[in-house]
Amino acid sequence: MTTTITPPSGAAEQAPSEPPARRRHAVTRRRRGNGRFVAACLLPALALFALFMIWPTLSVFRMSLYTWSGFSPKMRFVGLDNFTKLIDDQQFLRAFQNTVALLVIVTVVTMGLGLSLAAIMTRQKLRGRNLYRFILYIPNVLSVVVIAAIFSAVFDQENGLINGTLRLLSLDGLQQVWLGDQGVVLWSVAIAMVWQALGYYMVIYMASMASIPEELYEASALDGAGAGRQFFTITLPLIWETLRTTLTFFVLSAVNLSFVLVRAMTGGGPDGASDVLLSYMYQQAYTNSSYGYGMAIGVVIFAFSFLVSLLVSRATRRQPLQY
């Protein structure tokens, strides 16, 4: 008599577990597939970046080692002679000084006013606050060339707004040739740069300040802290990362902004008094037919911008605060 053992009711046969080697192979194959997909998505962007950023940058470095008019097929290798000439070029040194002066003045004024206005409009109950914000933000919407045209009219010697107002107030002695005087032309360009950028950074700081909990200010007020103390001990530390990012971005963008405003407002004059690095590079490369020399100035601008951004990043690095 044969006895058949029947498994308990409801028990299911369990398939043998998958070998570990096969599981590892499946995971590896899946990861490779994901990697190929990511690479396929990134490849077009990397190709465009290499074509329009890396290759032109390398070309600038290469052309800085040659003497070339920009039009002639003849190019002569001169090594570092173009950079040696820069050391003795007084106009280049003047343009470099103007660039540094504009960066320092415009950055300090723009960041300071932007933070102050943002704190006032965020913390104070102002009537028409949205209207003020809109008015201050308008310059950022306008083209830089339009802003240059506006300030060229404002600083006009005969019919400009400033000299006209001074004449109306019988303050003729304070009138200036704003864009024709070597002593004030750089300040005129700086005013235009501040006016163009102020509203944009004010709005960014307002958005960052609006995220700070109100309870922190209420607690500090109970402890006797005033508005100024609250700004430096609560507001500024909690938006520090935003300030650090915008500071680096502004310093780099100001180099380009100064070039456009100088070319449109003064053309680098009078007698090169308002020249900045980019305008002097443009003049040498495309006006004086010294393309190789202009590219050497471009290399200096690249190194200068990289160094400034690195210094700003290192100088403003600190442990972020959380709330």
Claim to verify: residue 108 and residue 38 sit in the same structural domain = no
Q: What is the pLDDT of residue 11?
A: 47
Residue 247: how many CB atoms within 10 A of its CB? 19
Range 214-217 contact pairs with CB under 8 angstroms and sequence separation of 24 or more: 216/323, 217/123
Q: What's the pTM? A: 0.82
CATH number at residue 189: 1.10.3720.10
What distance in Å separates the CA atoms of residue 294 and residue 70, rounded to the nearest whole number? 10
Residues 32 and 164 in one domain: no
Nearest one of 100, 90, 102 to 272, comparing CA atoms: 90
Question: How much of the chain exceeds pLDDT 90, in percent?
Answer: 28
Domain coverage including residue 184: 97-290+307-315
pLDDT score for 291: 87
Q: Is the pLDDT of residue 322 over 70?
A: no
59-106 pLDDT per residue, tens: 889 989 988 877 777 888 888 899 999 998 999 999 999 999 999 999
Task: Please tell me the predicted confidence (pLDDT) of residue 133.
Answer: 84
Q: Are 43 and 151 contained in the same domain?
A: no
Cα(183)–Cα(186) distance, integer angstroms: 7
- Report percent pLDDT > 70 for the chain: 93
pLDDT confidence of 7, banded at 50, 70, 90? Answer: low
Domain-embedded: residue 16? no
Q: Do 178 and 106 share a structural domain?
A: yes
* 176 and 123 part of one domain: yes
Q: How many residues does the chain have?
A: 323
| Token pair recorded at residue 226 | 């005033």
Each residue of 219-260: pLDDT tens digit?
888 888 888 888 888 889 889 988 988 998 898 888 888 898
DSSP H stretches of helix in 128-213 = 129-141, 144-154, 161-168, 185-210
Residue 115 sits in the same domain as residue 32: no
pLDDT for residue 16: 52
pLDDT digit string (tens) for 148-189? 999 999 998 888 889 889 888 888 888 888 888 888 999 999
Q: Is residue 321 domain-resident?
A: no
Assign 76 to helix, strand or coil. Answer: strand
Task: Looking at the chain, list the stretches that DSSP marks H as alpha helix, in order from N- to C-terminal side.
Answer: 20-49, 55-63, 81-88, 90-123, 129-141, 144-154, 161-168, 185-210, 214-222, 227-230, 236-238, 240-265, 277-282, 291-315
